[in-house]
Amino acid sequence: MVISATSAAAQTASGPVGGQRSPFARLAELLAPHQPGKPLIAMSLGEPQHPVPSFVGPVLSQHINEFGRYPIAKGILPFRAAAARWLDRRYALAHPVDPEAEVLVLNGSREGLFFAAVTAARFVGPRQGAPVILLPNPFYPAYAAGAQAAGCEPVFLPTTRENGFLPDLDALDPATLARTVAIYIASPANPQGSVASRAYCDRLVALARRYGFMILADECYSEIYTQAAPGSMLEAAGPDFANVAVFQSLSKRSNLPGMRVGFVAGDPKFLAAFHELRNVAAPQVPVPLQHVAAAAYEDEAHVEENRRLYRLKFDLADQILGNRYGYSRPAGGFCLWLDVSAYGGDEAATVKLFKDGGVRVIPGSYLARPQADGFNPGAGYIRVAMVQDSETAAEALHRLVAVLD
C-alpha cells in the first residue's frame, strides 16, 4: 500500500488537538457508566511504579537552594555532560557527543517532541507543496499535537503485524516525501514494543537526507528490554548527526515520571534552532532536578534492577498468556499489545475486563487514527501497561484470561 499525503488529507477524527482527543479522556468516558467488578488494578497508563532510585533525595537536598534560580533553557553543563557521557557509553557513535552543541535539556520528552515539530517546520525550509509530518499509527498524542502546532498536515503510517509494527518505508511515495518536514519514529515502539534494526535506521536516514526532512526519534523506552539492547538513530546518523534528533527521558529508564527531565541530542544545527525557540517558549527545568538527572545518567545499577523487574513480569506473561491474544514477548518497552478482536473488539473487551475483572486497560483504537480507507490499525487490540509490581501484574493477567476465556 502506498501512503500519500493526498489520501491522508481525507482522514478525520473528533477532538481539539491534532484531531485527536486524549485517549485517557475517552477511556474515562467509556468506563464511567460501570463499576469495577473486583478491586481495581490500573494497567492503562504507562506510569512506572517501581521504586524511585535511592540517590534522588540526597542529591535533591544537596542542591535545594538552587530552586531560587531561573534555569537557563539549554540546561546546566553538568547535566548536558552527563547525558553526553551516557550516550557515548551506551551506543556506538561516530564521535563523542558534544555537550555544548549536541545536547539540550527537556522538561520531559513529551514537550520536546511537541516543540520539535514547530522547529522542524522552520528549520527545513520550503517544501514542494503543503508541508506534512509523518507519524506512526498508533502514535503518541504529542506527535499529532506537534504537527498541528507546526501548521503541517499529519500523515499517518499504519504499523501492523504484517510490517513488524514499524512504518513501511517502501509505502512512502516521492511526492509525499518531497513535502515532508519531519517523521516521528519510536523505537522501541509504543505500544507494540517493536525495535528498529540498524538497516531500517540507515534507510530512514538516507531518505531524510535525500528529501531534506528531520527524523524525530522517540527513544524513551530504550532502556527497557528483555532481548538485545536497542540501538539508537544516532548510530545511523554518522559523524555530523545531520537530520537526526533523538529524545530521551528518565520517566521509564529511572522510574521518575513525575520529575519531568529528559534531553534531546543530535544535529547541532537543528538543536541551535530548537534552542532559540525553547528559549522563549518552552518550560524550563529546575536546576536541582537537573542535578538529580545527572546523577541518574551516571548510574546504571538502578537501571539494571529496573530491567530485571520488568523481565520477571514478562516471564509471568509468557506463562499466563501463552499464545493467547497473539501475545509474544516484546523486544522493548513495558506494554502488552493483545489482539482481542475475537472477544468483541477492543472497546467491548475493555469494558468487560473492567466490569467483570476490575482490570483497567486501554482500547487500541483510542491510540490510533483511522486511515483514509477507514482502517484503524489499533482496532481490535488492547494495551496493557506492565507497570505494577510482579504480584499485582500476575493477578491482573490471571483475571484477564479468566474474564476473556
Q: What is the mean pLDDT of residues 108-137?
A: 96
Report the percentage of the chain scoring pLDDT > 70.
95
* pLDDT surpasses 50 at 170: yes
The domain over range 69-299 is classified in CATH as 3.20.20.70: no
Task: Please report the pLDDT score of residue 1 as a whole number.
Answer: 65
Pairing of strands 132-137, 153-158: parallel
Q: Is the pLDDT reported for residue 321 higher than 60?
A: yes
CATH 3.90.1150.10 correct for 14-46+302-404: yes
Tell me what the mean pLDDT of segment 259-264 comes to. 97
pLDDT at res. 17: 42
Q: pLDDT digit string (tens) for 277-296?
A: 999 999 999 999 999 999 99
pLDDT at 302 (0 to 100): 98
> CA–CA separation, 62 vs 41, rounded Å?
37
pLDDT at residue 389, as a whole number: 97
Q: Is 358:405 a contact under the CB 8 Å cutoff?
A: no
Q: Range(s) for CATH 3.40.640.10 in the chain? A: 69-299
Residue 7 has pLDDT above 90, yes or no: no
**pLDDT reported for residue 5:** 59
Residue 176 has pLDDT above 50, yes or no: yes
- Residue 358 pLDDT > 80, yes or no? yes
CB-based contact 339:324 (threshold 8 Å): no
Mean pLDDT of the residues in the chain? 95
pLDDT per residue over 11-28, tens digit each? 433 344 445 689 999 999
CATH 3.90.1150.10 segments of the chain: 14-46+302-404
% of the chain exceeding 90 in pLDDT: 94
273 touches 122 (CB < 8 A): yes
pLDDT of residue 246: 98
Q: Which residues pair with 185 in a beta bridge?
A: 217
For 86, phi then psi, to 5°, come to -65, -45
